[in-house]
Amino acid sequence: MFAIIKTGGKQYKVAEGDVVRVEKLNAEAGSTVDLSDILLVNDGKKDHIGGSSVAGATVTATVVEQMRDRKVIIFKKTRRHNYRRKNGHRQHLTVLKITKVALGK
């Protein structure tokens, strides 16, 4: 059984036991999070698809840690005008371990 969830403006395909890095959620390490925006659930036989979300479906995850991703360098340059700008960015992430995917009928 797997599900497609939406969090942080991105979509992730998850199954029980998966470890996923998503954009930062407000939760402490070791706590449990219920993800409510579920777009699709596959029970092994059939796909259950909702308009905006599947009614009654739940995905439960445990927060493993809060972390920051590797640094991404942004470099802008204009030729022959002595214009150079260097900037960096590190995204805050939450590491989730999926504990349960359920299709409450």
Cα 1 from Cα 15, distance rounded (Å): 6
Give 32-85 pLDDT, tens digit per residue: 999 989 999 998 888 888 877 888 899 999 999 999 999 999 999 999 999 999
Q: Residue 84: CA atoms inside 13 Å, Cβ hemisphere, count? A: 4
pLDDT at 105: 62
Between 103 and 62, the more confident residue is 62
Under 8 Å CB-to-CB from 102, ≥6 apart: which residues? 57, 58, 59, 60
Tokens of residue 48, six digits? 């259950």
Give 43-52 pLDDT, tens digit per residue: 888 888 887 7
8 Å CB contact between 37 and 9: no
Structurally, the chain folds into a number of domains equal to 1
pLDDT at 61: 97
Q: pTM here?
A: 0.84
Tell whether the model's pLDDT for residue 101 goes beyond 70: yes
Domain residue limits at 14: 2-103
